């Protein structure tokens, strides 16, 4: 499994919004400058979240984006699944029941399902707030 630039940048963008939550709506321009990410690329990423309840949008000159819920309610796993799709290492590990004709006799299927379970549980155990706290050294949180 390899996380794309889109997934990594989306996570950085949402961590930035979490860090600046008390400042109201944050413009993509400000996020782009702080994170050193192209504003055009952030505009593409925003489209993914516009179809969800992750962000609130403010219109007008003081507009921008903010998290719709507290940072502690968003996990890295859910964010990456929104941007990347499944986090399973192989397609058959994400299917239940498996669509593969060999699933009943495949000796490797339990390995892939186990790996998918570990990856998802790990990423679902980390919130945006954990990342903000880690960045600021709070609670000495280590990933």
Distance CA 16, CA 30 (A): 10
pLDDT digits (tens, 9 = 90+) for 66-109: 999 999 999 999 999 999 999 988 888 877 776 777 777 889 88
> Does 140 have pLDDT greater than 90?
no
Q: What number is the average pLDDT over the span 14-42?
A: 96
Q: Where are the alpha helices (DSSP H) in 20-99?
A: 28-35, 39-50, 76-84
| Number of structural domains in the chain | 1
Q: Residue 115: what pLDDT?
A: 95
Distance CA 19, CA 53 (A): 19
Q: Which domain holds residue 98?
A: 5-140
pLDDT tier for residue 61 given thresholds of 50, 70 and 90? confident
We report the CATH number of the domain holding residue 111 as 1.10.10.10
């Amino acid at each position: 499994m390899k996380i794309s630039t889109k997934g990594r940048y989306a996570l950085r963008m949402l961590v930035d919004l979490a860090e600046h939550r008390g400042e109201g709506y944050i413009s993509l321009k400000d996020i782009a400058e702080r994170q050193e990410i192209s504003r055009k690329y952030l505009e593409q990423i925003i489209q993914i979240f516009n179809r969800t309840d992750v962000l609130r949008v403010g219109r007008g000159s003081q507009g921008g984006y903010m998290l719709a819920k507290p940072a502690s309610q968003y996990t890295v796993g859910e964010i990456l699944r929104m941007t990347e799709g499944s986090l399973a290492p192989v397609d058959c590990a994400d299917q239940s029941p498996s669509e593969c004709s060999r699933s009943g006799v495949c000796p490797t299927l339990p390995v892939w399902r186990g790996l998918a379970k570990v990856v998802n549980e790990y990423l679902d155990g980390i919130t945006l707030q954990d990342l903000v706290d880690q960045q600021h050294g709070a609670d000495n949180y280590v990933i």
